[in-house]
Amino acid sequence: MARRQLGGDPQWWRGAVIYQIYPRSFLDMNGDGIGDLPGIAARLDYVAALGVDAVWISPFFPSPMRDFGYDIADYRDVDPMFGTLEDFDLLLDAAHERGLRVMLDLVLSHTSDKHPWFQESRVDRANRRADWYVWADPRPDGTPPNNWLSLFGGPAWEWDSRRRQYYMHNFLASQPDLNFHNPEVQEAMLDVARFWLERGVDGFRLDTANMYFHDAALRDNPPLGPGRRVNGVPDSNPYGMQDPIYNINRPECLVFHERLRRLMDTYPGTATVGEIGAVTDMYATVAAYTEDSLRLNMAYSFDYLSELFSAGHIRAVCERMAAQPYSWPSWAFSNHDNTRVLTRWGLAAHAWQAAPLLVALLTSLRGSPCMYQGEELGLTEAIVPFERLQDPYGIRFWPEYRGRDGCRTPMPWSDSALHGGFSEAQPWLPIPLDHLDRAVNLQERDPHSPLNRVRRFLHWRRDHPVFRNGDIRFHDAPEPVVAFARIGDGGGRFCAFNLGPDPAALDAPAGLRPLSGHGFAGTLAGGRIRLEGFDAFFAEIG
């Protein structure tokens, strides 16, 4: 069944606001305590009303759910807990009717060990898919072939008694890595992308986009040395002590992305955003993966997903990225893998005021912002007790690292409905009581709620195209204020954000004409911009 993409501007992704939906936790329509595709379809009016341009849906493919969908057992179907292919088609059509583009989360670097490809590959060393995964003989003493580590703990190698070899896994042992050095594997992955493009999806978020290839010689990774860490890896994880130059980040990966880009270009108006993780030079890597129409349309880094938070850090990250050639970045302050931003940046006590400010800042930077479900409500990180944990990553490194469940708890739709209106059954993760106080139904009634302020700002942003594709020039400002101008064909806009709870002020450039309608209260008088705590100011430039 061939469908058409939404159409319109083929460059729609530049500056587009992408809203990430984690389907397990969005809305449950079949009463099993797990969100599903009909649940997403039922809330598309809510998503469209936010003023976003696209949705990124985390994996819903058949899976044993050892890593909650990021261990795929069938790339061309829908897991029954989420619905059916017909449900997906209905969701896609309903999104397009509302002007929303749909991007799927594709996990190409590895599969589940339950995938038929792996089940065949592990039978012996002579079957037709024997070389579809990364197999290696042990060292003479029986140990793994090299020192590579898994991000989820322990060696990146698992012994298989049938083949009497080790297989590689960058994540769980139940997530064997595909061998992209095999041309048949590359063709199979391109066919997967083609299958969903033919159904009419508008693009892909590519999980672990820099992890498709490994060093064919299986060389040991060198140590990073004191004071250096891999980007995005918690200190409690020894993975961060190696420089992962051989198990991931291989130059052959760039060549495959060129092939994928050529396929994408045959479906006008589609786009890719890549997750670039576990690197030591984030900026050069993102630039390489987004080089001048050759590979990914955009990629996001983990620099804003760390605990570092200051106006100076916001500026430094953005300027370092802007200095790279051919780079079009994508920014995220939160996602399904990281502690929610209000907690991570120490703003939980100020969530009601800080949440709309952070969304405004995120969506004003040069690049394509990714919002995570619940950011518009000011949700903070949930504390999930150990006995309720689901995440194998958190269970492995507890208690120094509590895993990813705290950012994956269900959306609170109603403060008075059973389980927050998420499900009629016990949810797969508990809903914190303080999240019920920020439920959608309560916030919709309050014009000053984070939800309504986010809606107001994102709709205002649509009337100022310079936020989509303009350049960015930072303006010197005292902490905790970050200030910059967006300059483009549609003129210029000056923006200032107070990231702290106390009033702040800064000198204004000449020729500013304050703008209204965005929902913030910053003022200009006597050549000074004055901001209340967690306030912003926007003006037209001279």
Per-residue DSSP letter, 162: T
Domain boundaries, the chain: 18-110+182-460, 470-541
| 503 in Cβ contact with 533 (< 8 Å) | yes
Is there a contact between 230 and 239 (Cβ–Cβ < 8 Å)? yes
Alpha-carbon gap, residue 63 to 361, rounded angstroms: 37
Q: Is 275 a catalytic residue?
A: yes
CATH class of 18-110+182-460: alpha beta
Residues 63-99 have pLDDT tens digits of: 999 999 999 999 999 999 999 999 999 999 999 999 9
pLDDT in tens, 295-329: 999 998 788 999 999 999 999 999 999 888 767 89
Q: Distance between CA 389 and CA 130 in Å, rounded? A: 36
> Is domain 470-541 given the CATH code 3.40.190.10 in the classification?
no
Q: Where are the alpha helices (DSSP H) in 422-503?
A: 433-436, 440-445, 450-462, 466-469
Query: Tokens standing for 167?
Result: 């297989």
Tokens of 263: 């396929």
Under 8 Å CB-to-CB from 364, ≥6 apart: which residues? 461, 467, 484, 486, 495, 497
Sign of CA dihedral 511, 514, 518, 522: positive
Question: Mean pLDDT over residues 489-514, rounded?
Answer: 95
Q: How many CB atoms lie within 10 A of CB 258?
A: 11
The angle formed by the CA atoms of residues 74, 75 and 80, to the nearest 5 degrees, is 60
More confident residue, 327 or 218: 218
Q: Would you call 207 a catalytic residue per the annotation?
A: yes
The 10s digit of each residue's pLDDT in 179-209 is 999 999 999 999 999 999 999 999 999 999 9
- Sign for the CA dihedral angle at 184, 185, 188, 190 comes to negative
Considering 53, 207, 303, 376, which one is annotated as catalytic? 207
What are the phi and psi torsion angles at 469 (to 5°)?
Answer: -135, 5
pLDDT at 1 > cutoff 70:
no
Name the β-bridge partners of 108: none
111 contact partners, CB below 8 Å, separation of at least 6: 71, 72, 73, 117, 118, 175, 176, 178
Read off the pLDDT of residues 92-120 as tens digits, 9 standing for 90 and up: 999 999 999 999 999 999 999 999 999 99
User: Closest by alpha carbon to 148, among 212, 220, 211, 213?
Assistant: 220
What does pLDDT average to over the chain? Answer: 95
pLDDT for residue 32? 98
Residue 501 in this model has a pLDDT that exceeds 90:
yes
User: Of 275, 291, 381, 405, which residue is the catalytic one?
Assistant: 275
- Distance between CA 421 and CA 440 in Å, rounded? 10
Q: At 4, is the pLDDT very low, low, confident or very high (cuts 50, 70, 90)?
A: confident
CA distances 140 to 71, 136, 159, 374, Å, are 32, 12, 14, 52
User: Residue 388 is which amino acid?
Assistant: R
Q: Is the pLDDT of residue 517 over 90?
A: yes
DSSP code, position 168: E
Q: What is the pLDDT of residues 389-429, one digit of tens each?
A: 998 888 888 888 888 999 999 999 999 999 999 999 999 99
Q: How many residues does the chain have?
A: 542
Express each pLDDT in 122-143 by its tens digit: 999 999 999 999 999 999 999 9
- Could you read off the pLDDT of 228-242 as tens digits, one per residue? 878 778 888 899 899
What does the pLDDT read at residue 355?
98
Q: C-alpha distances in angstroms, 307 versus 263, 275, 399?
A: 37, 19, 18
